[in-house]
Structure 1
Amino acid sequence: MLIDPNNIKVGFIGIGVMGKSMAGHILDAGYKLFVYNRTKSKTEELLNKGAVFLPINELAKNCDLIITMVGFPEDVSEVYFSENGLINNSKEGSILIDMTTSPPSLAVKIYDELKKKGVFFLDAPVSGGDIGAKNATLSIMVGGDEEIFTSVLPIFGLMGKNIVYQGKAGSGQHTKMCNQIAIASNMIGVAESLYYGIKAGLNPEMVLKSISTGAAGSWSLTNLGPKMLNEDYAPGFYIKHFIKDMKIALDESIRMGINLPGLKLALSLYEELSRMGYENSGTQAIFKLYTK
């Protein structure tokens, strides 16, 4: 496929916190964009800029390349496997890309089913949250056929900067699990570090200034540390979605026979937050466990 704005129609399913910005970059680049979201009102801004709203089956029949960015594995399954879903309705030779974080086994299943239909599939979960989506600086981890990955690099380049081919179908999702496992323990460290500084009588903003550029530095410390201090728990990435990701990673680790105690601890803390009513807050709300 020639990835040329004048030659292909792009579909985007899932206009949420991140999907809205990601789809917007594609539209701004001149592509003919067709969108679907369960809550149509969330697509209004894109529609006003020239995107066209279509139900999934019609979008599948009209588009050459389709990106899905939905919430949970069950949403991915519905979008792909339902009667009016993508598998039954996509055009032969089209390319489908799931950028949702979901189980590697599901990515392999979708790849195999679409291959029978002559449709190509990539699993390409992302990292970087709403900030990365808005700034088109997402890290994109991709599994599937390498030649298909190469052909869609111009599209990936509109949404991210660190775009890496990881291997066969499911490899992108496995890489995202590595990413989430690293973040899980790091978020505990960020929250405990800042809480310690406050209890020690330090100016926490000055603490951040010192430690964010040293060996303790991380994306979470730089971007979410200030939000913790400002009690800004607006979601760049929902706690409920992080819990979903950690459960996938834990299930995979059990399947592989490995023990990840840091992941288990982080999951238990975020589940406690969820029980407290913060499932729709951003992951930085872990700080509430220390300041409650």
Structure 2
Amino acid sequence: MKVSFIGLGVMGYPMAGHLVKAGFDVSVFNRTTEKAQRWANEYAGQYAETVAECVKDADVVAVCVGNDDDVRQMTTAEYGAIAAMKQGAILVDHTTTSASLAEELGKACEEAGIRFMDAPVSGGQAGAENGVLTIMCGGDEAVFNELQSVFDAYGKSSVLMGTVGQGQRAKMVNQVCIAGVLTGLSEGLLLAQKSGLDIPALVDCLKNGAAGSWQMENRAKTMDQDKYDFGFAIDWMIKDLGFCLDEADKQGITLPLTEQSIERYKQLSADGEGRSDTSVLFKAVRQDAEQ
């Protein structure tokens, strides 16, 4: 199977590498050609200088870029992937986008005789590097089944959530839950600090109980040390939570905690923390509590 991978950021770079290790014939494209060349040298793969060249013979084309407009530029634009893909090939979008964009891509692919799967991922940079991502999928079951060997290369779990768009909606729930868990963890950690508790001992005590979470086990100790350089930047979280609030509005509901979280992240970004990871929410919670 020939697989093309578009977008070699902190997620896409190792994901494409895992495909080579799994035995796929892989070609990559990145808007910065130098990075594509570096990837090709590192993984003994191929790179192309245009999207069309990258995808022309591919059975599967995976995209993992920044936002809705980036995805459109790589897929539906005049020189994007859809116009150059062969009939019957599969386009997979691993970018976290709006559900409406997923539905837009699904229609564009259908008109072009191409199959489509929206498939945002969770697990962060570490998950991508270790090949243990969670993949939330929206699309046809037959296409999902056909993609399993691809997903297995960099994923620990892939789940079909429903029709096109449902993968992105599942990712929205994921981001809402992360923000909520980090808010509770931040308040608990602040109370623990002020009470003089030993934070590493506290985490080891709580992590396997009802309060345990991935965030507690992987971020509480570094939050206590005010270290926030662990991958997923809050500027991306602001984008993702914006999708969540837009979807909530379409569903006629409000998400007060998510609204509070995005405002805190926006203030942190304005204060120069835009590239810090999501656990930096602790700084905002601490500041609010101490005022």
TM-score grouping bracket, smaller chain normalisation = over 0.9
Report the equivalent of 1:46. Answer: 39
TM-score by length of 1: 0.94
Q: Is the 8 A contact 1:97 1:124 kept in 2?
A: yes
Letter in 2 for 1:220: Q
The 3-state SS of whatever aligns with 1:71 is: coil
Q: CA deviation at 1:290?
A: 4.7
The 3-state SS of whatever aligns with 2:97 is: coil
Q: How does 1:204-223 map to 2 (within 5 A)?
A: 204-223=199-218
Residues of 1 paired with 2:264 and 2:168: CA distance?
Answer: 23
Structure 2 residue aligned with 1:104, among 99, 123, 130?
Answer: 99
Q: Is the 8 A contact 2:76 2:108 kept in 1?
A: no
- Structure 1: gaps (5+ residues): 1-7
The 3-state SS of whatever aligns with 2:273 is: coil
Q: Is the 8 A contact 1:16 1:42 kept in 2?
A: no
Residues of 2 paired with 1:198 and 1:263: CA distance?
Answer: 25
Structure 1 residue aligned with 2:16, among 5, 8, 23?
Answer: 23
Report the equivalent of 2:154. Answer: 159
Q: Is the 8 A contact 1:235 1:280 kept in 2?
A: no
Report the equivalent of 1:273. Answer: 268
Residues of 1 paired with 2:147 and 2:93: CA distance?
Answer: 13
Q: CA deviation at 1:43?
A: 3.2
The 3-state SS of whatever aligns with 2:92 is: strand
Deviation string, structure 1 residues 129-184 (Cα, Å, up to 9, x no partner): 11211221111110011100001101111111221111111110111111111111
Q: CA deviation at 1:9?
A: 1.4
Deviation string, structure 1 residues 31-68 (Cα, Å, up to 9, x no partner): 11111112233334421121211121111213221100
Q: Is the 8 A contact 1:191 1:286 kept in 2?
A: yes
Deviation string, structure 1 residues 265-292 (Cα, Å, up to 9, x no partner): 1111111111111111111122222556
- Structure 2: gaps (5+ residues): none
The 3-state SS of whatever aligns with 1:62 is: coil
TM-score by length of 2: 0.94
Residues of 2 paired with 1:179 and 1:101: CA distance?
Answer: 11
Report the equivalent of 1:3. Answer: none
Aligned pair 1:85/2:80, yes or no? yes
Q: How does 1:128-167 map to 2 (within 5 A)?
A: 128-167=123-162
Q: CA deviation at 1:235?
A: 3.9
Q: Is the 8 A contact 2:183 2:285 kept in 1?
A: no
Residues of 1 paired with 2:60 and 2:29: CA distance?
Answer: 14
Residues of 2 paired with 1:280 and 1:37: CA distance?
Answer: 21
Residues of 2 paired with 1:72 and 1:45: CA distance?
Answer: 24
Report the equivalent of 2:7. Answer: 14
Q: Relative to 1, partners in 2 of residues 1:235 and 1:79: Cα closer, same or farther, differing over 3 Å?
A: farther
Deviation string, structure 1 residues 232-264 (Cα, Å, up to 9, x no partner): 221421111111010001001001101111111
The 3-state SS of whatever aligns with 2:56 is: helix
Q: CA deviation at 1:100?
A: 0.6
Tell which deviates more after alignment, 101-110 or 34-43. 34-43
Deviation string, structure 1 residues 8-36 (Cα, Å, up to 9, x no partner): 21111111111111111101112111111
Q: Is the 8 A contact 2:109 2:116 kept in 1?
A: yes
Q: Relative to 1, partners in 2 of residues 1:50 and 1:156: Cα closer, same or farther, differing over 3 Å?
A: same
Report the equivalent of 2:64. Answer: 69
Q: Relative to 1, partners in 2 of residues 1:41 and 1:287: Cα closer, same or farther, differing over 3 Å?
A: farther
Structure 2 residue aligned with 1:184, among 173, 179, 189?
Answer: 179
How many equivalent pairs are there?
285
Q: CA deviation at 1:227?
A: 2.4
Q: Is the 8 A contact 1:187 1:286 kept in 2?
A: yes
Q: Is the 8 A contact 1:92 1:119 kept in 2?
A: yes
The 3-state SS of whatever aligns with 2:117 is: strand
Letter in 2 for 1:269: R
